[in-house]
Amino acid sequence: MPYIPHTPAEQERMLQTIGVPDINALFAEIPQELRPKRFDLPDGQDEHQVLHRLEHLAAKNNIHLVSFLGAGFYDHAIPSAVDYLTSRGEFATAYTPYQPEASQGSLQAIFEYQTAISRLLEMDFANASVYDGGTALYEAMMMAVRQTKRRKVVVDECVNPIYRRMLDCYTSNLHLDMVVVPHARGTSNMAALQAAVDGRTAALIVQNPNFFGVLEDFASLFDHGRAQGALNIISTYPLMQAILKTPGAMGADIATAEGQSLGLPLCFGGPYLGVMTCTKALIRQMPGRIVGRTTDNQGRDGFVLTLQAREQHIRRQKATSNICSNQALCAMRAIAFLCLMGPQGLADAALRCAEMAHAAARRMVKLPGVSLLNQRPFANEFAVTLPKPAYQVIHRLTQRGFLPGFPLGRYYPGLENVLLIACTEKHRREEIGILVEMLGGAL
């Protein structure tokens, strides 16, 4: 049997040591009435047979479309060294670093990740990760509910609609007062948000760039939130953060992100990386693992999991979160990626994405019947209104090998004709030209 190393003689020796006649005797405590009625699984296969099966399934997925689909999840270039380094068995086959003396590699890498993420978002502290951008936003909201002891949460409709659905799911049993403030043609309705945030509000939740790709400055809205005693929470796009005004500069209390853009493949939705950062004042409300630097009994620097009194294995039902395993190896990918890119490489990548998107938008609005959803600044993603339903255009273009974007009508009734188009540094100028040409032909 693969991966089970015992010879029959060794098994016999083990049974003798235990003092039972056979392996079945070890399971004698399971009552007969509980024995399986069936266990109808296929026979085992050789490695090459399994690989063949999986290669066959992988080939049924089309990854050769020239794609402008983003909507929060982006096809950025990943330096090969990221895969190479994070596939090292010493990282990949370790457990959560409960024994710090045997885990300094993981712990220091996570400490460096926390440092890089905090600096990227200009926030005080980061944790070691949660599952994804959506659970990060949910955890941030619960930090605010605990900290303020209030139950009202104001959410901008420009926040990723998938994340808003996740918030709904997690809060369905918690008796929170969730208020969603409608968007205004793909932009945040600042006046309405300000009116909604009052002295009962625990958290204000916004996103930048928003789901429509629009860049916002929430600094004055956050001033208002702070004055009302609410916590300001912002969901961000970390790669693009290399060139955009930071959550810290806007005055956010908690900044979260989907970290997928930092060296993680799209991989059909996961594993991704939930990025969480906060101000110093809130660190004891932070969920999940946090690594801190300390010294050993010989005075040498070393790293440990710290502030564990917040966590489920110590605090049981009073913990800040139930999270145990997080996305450690994904955080490892992010720190490798950020180090490989450096500040300049990251800014260059962000700018290249933005210049591709701006080139596409400039040419697209010249097509008859096509206009931008709004005239607001954007970085690498923008929404255009078409003269016909977006899904029809998508359907037409995919037959010709192009996936032009995301149909906003899927989440925003009334925007059926609006297409959300994302560019990355991997796109070529020729592809932009063909996209615009094909789009013109499909209208």
Residues 35-64 close enough to bind another protein by CB under 8 A: 35-45, 47, 50-51, 53-63
Closest distance to another protein from the beta carbon of 194 (Å):
19
Q: What x-and-dash track marks residues 331-360 binding another protein by CB under 8 A?
A: -x--xx-xxxxxxxxxxxx-xx-xx--x--
Given the complex with another protein, which of 180 and 196 has the nearer CB atom? 180
Which one of 255, 406, 415, 417 is in contact with another protein (CB under 8 A)? Answer: 406
Determine, following the binding rule CB under 8 A, whether residue 281 of this chain makes contact with another protein.
Answer: no
Determine, following the binding rule CB under 8 A, whether residue 371 of this chain makes contact with another protein.
Answer: no
Determine, following the binding rule CB under 8 A, whether residue 413 of this chain makes contact with another protein.
Answer: no
Q: CA-CA distance, 408 to 136, in Å (whole number)? A: 24
Q: CA-CA distance, 360 to 366, in Å (whole number)? A: 10
Closest distance to another protein from the beta carbon of 151 (Å):
13
**Which listed range, 195-203, 228-236, 310-318, 435-443, lies at the site for another protein (CB under 8 A)?**
310-318
C-beta separation of 259 from 275 below 8 A: yes
* SS3 state of residue 412: coil
Determine, following the binding rule CB under 8 A, whether residue 132 of this chain makes contact with another protein.
Answer: yes
Closest distance to another protein from the beta carbon of 12 (Å):
11
Q: CA-CA distance, 278 to 283, in Å (whole number)? A: 7
Residue type, 116: A
**Which listed range, 158-166, 187-195, 199-207, 367-375, lies at the site for another protein (CB under 8 A)?**
158-166
Q: At what angle do helices 429-442 and 390-398 cross, to 10 degrees?
A: 120
DSSP state of 268: G
Closest distance to another protein from the beta carbon of 224 (Å):
18
* SS3 state of residue 409: helix
* # of chain residues touching another protein (CB under 8 A): 201
Determine, following the binding rule CB under 8 A, whether residue 239 of this chain makes contact with another protein.
Answer: no
Tracing tokens 């560019």 back to the chain, one arrives at: 423
Given the complex with another protein, which of 89 and 368 has the nearer CB atom? 89
Q: CA-CA distance, 210 to 188, in Å (whole number)? A: 8
**Which listed range, 144-152, 180-188, 224-232, 266-274, lies at the site for another protein (CB under 8 A)?**
266-274
Determine, following the binding rule CB under 8 A, whether residue 34 of this chain makes contact with another protein.
Answer: yes
Q: CA-CA distance, 396 to 388, in Å (whole number)? A: 12
User: What are the CA-CA distances from residue 413 to residues 71, 205, 373, 388, 391 (Å)?
Assistant: 16, 22, 14, 15, 13
Determine, following the binding rule CB under 8 A, whether residue 106 of this chain makes contact with another protein.
Answer: yes
Determine, following the binding rule CB under 8 A, whether residue 33 of this chain makes contact with another protein.
Answer: yes
| 347 backbone dihedrals φ, ψ, rounded to 5° | -65, -40
User: What are the CA-CA distances from residue 244 to residues 1, 219, 354, 406 (Å)?
Assistant: 55, 13, 11, 23
Closest distance to another protein from the beta carbon of 304 (Å):
5
Given the complex with another protein, which of 317 and 368 has the nearer CB atom? 317
**Which listed range, 186-194, 294-302, 364-372, 434-442, lies at the site for another protein (CB under 8 A)?**
294-302
Given the complex with another protein, which of 74 and 233 has the nearer CB atom? 74
Determine, following the binding rule CB under 8 A, whether residue 159 of this chain makes contact with another protein.
Answer: no
Determine, following the binding rule CB under 8 A, whether residue 312 of this chain makes contact with another protein.
Answer: yes
Torsion of CA 300, 305, 306, 308, to 10 degrees: -150
In which region does residue 384 sit, left (phi positive, over 0), alpha (psi from -120 to 50) or beta (all else)?
Answer: beta
Which residue, 242, 236, 228, is CA-closest to 120? 242
User: What are the CA-CA distances from residue 335 to residues 81, 241, 263, 340 (Å)?
Assistant: 12, 15, 9, 8
Run of H or E residues at 431: helix 429-442
**Which listed range, 115-123, 149-157, 182-190, 430-438, lies at the site for another protein (CB under 8 A)?**
115-123
Q: CA-CA distance, 73 to 258, in Å (whole number)? A: 8
Determine, following the binding rule CB under 8 A, whether residue 366 of this chain makes contact with another protein.
Answer: no
Question: Residue 310's CB: how many other CB atoms inside 10 A?
Answer: 21
Determine, following the binding rule CB under 8 A, whether residue 2 of this chain makes contact with another protein.
Answer: yes
Closest distance to another protein from the beta carbon of 204 (Å):
19
Given the complex with another protein, which of 104 and 189 has the nearer CB atom? 104
| Touching another protein, residues 180-209 (CB under 8 A) | none
| Touching another protein, residues 315-334 (CB under 8 A) | 315-319, 321-330, 332
Given the complex with another protein, which of 104 and 195 has the nearer CB atom? 104
Determine, following the binding rule CB under 8 A, whether residue 163 of this chain makes contact with another protein.
Answer: yes
Task: Give the chain's length.
Answer: 443
